[in-house]
Amino acid sequence: MRMLYITLLVSAIIGSQSSGGKVPKEVVVFWIPPEVETYVPVTKENIEQMAFKIVSVRNEKQADEVLSLIHKSNKGLDSKKIRIKISTDRGFYILDANGIGVSSRGEAVEMDIQKLKLVLCD
């Protein structure tokens, strides 16, 4: 019984340590080139259906690179000119044509779209 208790305790400790800084298992990027003008406004509700390209990133290093490009901001996004949605198992980020966005938690964020393009093309 004591061995079972120790095994469960060790498993709990290892599990809690590994989930804290772990990179999401999958990152999906819904993409419309920022320079493209659309006839219909692209919003957070329709970006997935209107995306020109959908990139599933399953490589942990590349997923970490994509997410490391996102930084906190104090700017407001253009909610009718959404061009990118980055979806993870922990939430999502919506970005406009200027790289200004918002997280699923309501935090203002920004990203260099040209750097994102480089990471996704590698």
What pLDDT sits at residue 14? 39
Distance CA 56, CA 63 (A): 9
Determine how many CB atoms are found less than 10 A away from the CB of residue 82: 25
Q: Confirm whether pTM is higher than 0.85.
A: no
Residue 24 has what pLDDT? 63
Per-residue pLDDT tens for 68-116?
Answer: 999 999 999 999 999 999 999 999 999 999 999 999 999 999 999 999 9
Summarize pLDDT for 43-56 with one digit per residue, the tens.
999 999 999 999 99
Lateral strand order in the sheet of 91-96: 53-57, 27-31, 82-88, 91-96, 100-103, 108-110, 71-72
> Higher-confidence residue: 49 or 2?
49
